[in-house]
Structure 1
């Protein structure tokens, strides 16, 4: 496997920009170059294909730390992706963005419904209740 060089990665970035080809999205990290963001593994794989001369060559390292370490060693900036709200959710937002990722609740949690098996208050032995017990024992069973 030929090693990647900074020139190969820069060449891959130029080709990616020229081709405008959709790259598979990254989930956590981005390669940042000239204020543009790229998925690191896709860029490394493109540069690896240029290095080997094989258009079907696969990048041998898994995504994440191993790929990022190679690119950072070549003096590229790898950053964590910025959180983005899904379309439509920004319109419904009722809380400030500052509290979204701090774990601050915007409203109290909903009250749990009472279980039908658990009485809400203790049963008392009222005379009325005690008078019904013999009648229930005589009730015909199904």
Structure 2
């Protein structure tokens, strides 16, 4: 019997062997230190695959272009409206809040604060729409949000 890993929760581990150029990816949360190190990349980084050769993948992240890693260290970041997991397994209907590390959200704060908890209404690509008590139809970036238990 195989041990269950964190990766199984998102159901993404089986998708890794199907990586294609252009796919949006991130480093798995279960990876402590990537084989070829972090560079400027971190767990919140979302990049595009530019090359896959055997077990090695090259990714252009906003923080670092041409980042090299192992295929087994990354996971796909795909839109929930296609029925696939998204970054950190965020799905429509999840309760979320702004990550504490985010100081200046890409689309602004509006009436939302770090203490606001809302429900994801829509996910499209890297963007999501959240209904907060303070503001409905708030638009943000998936990587700026975290799930709230």
Relative to its length, the structure with more helix (as a share) is 1
Band the TM-score falls in, shorter-chain normalisation: under 0.3
Relative to its length, the structure with more strand (as a share) is 2
Larger Rg: 1
TM-score using structure 2 length: 0.20
